[in-house]
Chains A and B, each alone.
Chain A
Amino acid sequence: MDRKRSYYEDVALFDSKAKLFWFFVLMAFLVAYPHIVPSNSYIYMANLMAINIIVVLGLNLLVGFTGQISLGHAGFFCVGAYATITLMIHAGLPFIVALPAAALISALLGFLLGLPALRLEGPYLSIATLGFGISITKVIGKMQFFGGRQGLHAPELTIGSWNLDTDLDFYYLAVGLTVLLTIAARNIVKTRVGRAFIAIREDDIAAQTTGVNLTYYKTLAFALSAFYTGLAGGLFAFVLRFIEPEMFTLLMSILFLAMVVVGGLGSIMGSITGAVLITWLDLQLRHILTIPYIGDWLRTLSQSWFSITGVSNIQYIVLGTIVVLIMVFEPLGLYGLWIRAKKYWKTWPF
């Protein structure tokens, strides 16, 4: 039974021995992962997944826990990436200082966006955040200081005397940060701040009457979310080692939101599964024609009914269908499915 007897049991990181065990199994797997996969592309995929997990954790804090919609997270992602590289190139800061500094800059922007968002809700908030996401990338893309349309190349990545020039080295940095940030996010939502967020999501006026400071917690949610996303953006700049403004489109914001929804609104585990699943799907669907059986079938289908040049767009159809189906039938996402499965088996076979 998962009945809790004291507050400390509720906030404890591992509430059972089994969970602790599985946590160490997962850690061992994560350490061993790069050595057991057959090729480098799997490590690259894991790096992207780690980065998307960080973004989705941040976005879930805002959308899933606080109930404030944001369609502009590609903007924070972009700010994080550009700020990290710019601080390293122009200010000569080492990576280990530049990354948190960039995340703080992003958090500051999140705080500033949170101020008008205090009075907005629903469609008004979605257009304000969407406008922010579009404008910030446009502005950054037009400034020569940030490389303009040509984009920026990432400098050498070193931490102390550790030179992270391969995907393998970067993997340990990205995954280590992801684990830390996941635990941090989990602690945030389990304690006072997280409970305030959830209270705001359920009903902001009722939350205020019970003593939740709306101004403080709403802007905090925006700033925290932007901090996570900015940090992920800074890491992202070193995955591709090259950034340009055209990468950070509205579609990217939508993809982040899709990850949150598919994984499960208001759930840490859900954020991780959603990010992993959608990143994997996204990478696989890019070369869908090379998948056995389905690829051949799609090729003939495209030739007779659709066009072969536009076949890569199937990924939008697949992702859109997943999002719609999940939202219609299981609004809590994969996490909701997991809860249902758990409940079903609890009393089995009765």
Chain B
Amino acid sequence: MIDFIQMLLSGVAVGSSYALMGLAMVLIYKTSEVVNFAQGEMALVSVFMTYLVLAFHGWPFHLAFPAALIFSFFLGCFLEWAVLRRAKTPNILSMIIITIGIEMILLGLVSWKFGADPKTLPFPIGPYDAFLVGDLFISHLEIMTLVLALVIMVSLFLFLRYTRFGMAMKATQQNPVAARLMGIRVNRILMVTWGISAGVGGIAGLLIAPTVMSPFMMWDPMLKGFAGAVLGGMTSLPGAVAGAYIVGVVENLFGGYVSTEFKSVVAFVIIVVVLCVKPSGLLARHYVKKV
């Protein structure tokens, strides 16, 4: 029983970082129908910039982390402004390929600058600091990931629901032309959405970095976050969060009870099975195209 709770707990903790990545991807997909494969690498750049200022320039934590978030916000804005907006034929396929191209560029830049060998990010909490509750082993970092993820989700929800900007984002995703006629600057909304999404992704990256840090560190969380988001339905924020937690928990339980070897595969098998039954994911309304 204690094993089960332990696995559930680490599943939830892993799921939180997946959920952040999934949220970031869904934010972009909802407003602009772009599947952002560069999400992981955008976070990667922020993480390595943080590493740079912390390890080589001696910035204190309370300065470095906000700076990292501001940096990732502007990185997201810049990529939307400089690349995505310039696309000639913005259909789904070409957008996917453009983001894959961006991903390759960012990955190449980071691994050119820092080499392929693993690094350790200076972090206020060590990756192995933990406390015991009864027989439960709870690491500080896991708790922090969980709490931060919840805080971000709630604040995103409030932001989208109760601010003028959130309302404008909603309007943009429902009907860009009508939104534009109502005086909303659609381009600016898209740009800022990319910025916010990059910021959310950057937080996920910073929470993953203390345990593993190498140029390929974001691939797994990004793919699992994406898988979770697809599982819940790409157009629904709560769906993405739920899907990511399902992926994290099932993955850990499968790893504990069935086989650790195929742990990383199981997520994709669930995805294919669920998509066979519900092609738009668990929580999204099925969208039927009209001709």
A interface residue numbers (CB < 8 A to B): 63, 67, 69, 116, 119-124, 126-128, 130-132, 134-135, 138-139, 142, 203, 205-206, 209, 250, 254, 257-258, 261, 265, 302, 305-307, 309-311, 313-324, 327-331
Contacts and interface: CB of A to CB of B under 8 A. Distances in A.
Secondary structure at the B interface, as helix, strand, loop or mixed, is: helix
A126 B98 contact: no
Interface string B107-140: 1110111111100000000000000000000000
A63 B93 contact: yes
A63 B96 CA distance: 12
A331 B94 contact: yes
A320 B103 contact: yes
**The 6 A-B residue pairs with the shortest CB-CB distance in the complex, in nearest-first order:** A131-B268, A320-B104, A316-B108, A323-B101, A317-B108, A320-B105
Interface residues of B, number: 54
Contacts of B62: none
Given A131-B268, A206-B291, A327-B98, 8 more contacts: A69-B93, A128-B268, A132-B272, A309-B115, A309-B116, A320-B105, A321-B105, A324-B98
Contacts of A124: 230, 234, 275, 279-281
A302 B261 CA distance: 39
Contacts of A132: 268, 272
Nearest to A321: B105
Interface in B209-260: 215, 219, 223, 226-227, 230, 234
Interface string B133-152: 00000000000000000000
Nearest to B228: A127
Contacts of B178: none
Contacts of A130: 223, 268
Contacts of A121: 92
B223 to A, nearest CB: 7
Given A63-B93, A127-B230, A135 B109 contact: no
Contacts of A317: 104-105, 108-109, 112
A183 B269 CA distance: 37
Contact of B289 (A138, A205, A302): A205
A67 B97 CA distance: 13
Interface string B49-69: 000000000000000000000
Given A310-B116, A329-B88, A324 B279 contact: no
A313 B108 contact: yes
Contact of B107 (A67, A135, A316): A316
B276 interface: yes
Given A203-B291, A315-B108, A257 B100 contact: yes
B100 A323 contact: yes
Contacts of A331: 88-89, 94
B19 interface: no
Contacts of A131: 227, 267-269, 271-272
Given A126-B35, A139-B265, A261-B97, A320 B113 contact: no
Given A142-B261, A205-B289, A250-B219, A307 B113 contact: yes
B83 to A, nearest CB: 6
A116 B87 CA distance: 30
Nearest to A205: B291
Contacts of B111: 310, 313, 316
B187 interface: no
B113 A310 contact: yes
A119 B267 CA distance: 19
Contacts of B267: 131
Nearest to B38: A320
Given A116-B276, A138-B262, A257-B97, A311 B112 contact: yes
B169 interface: no
From A205, A307, A311, name the one whose CB has the most chain B CB atoms within 10 angstroms.
A307
Contacts of B104: 254, 258, 316-317, 319-320, 323
B279 to A, nearest CB: 4
A127 B233 CA distance: 12
A316 B94 CA distance: 19
Contacts of A265: 93
A306 B94 CA distance: 31
Interface in B37-53: none
A120 to B, nearest CB: 6
Contact of B269 (A135, A206, A261, A309): A135
B101 A324 contact: yes
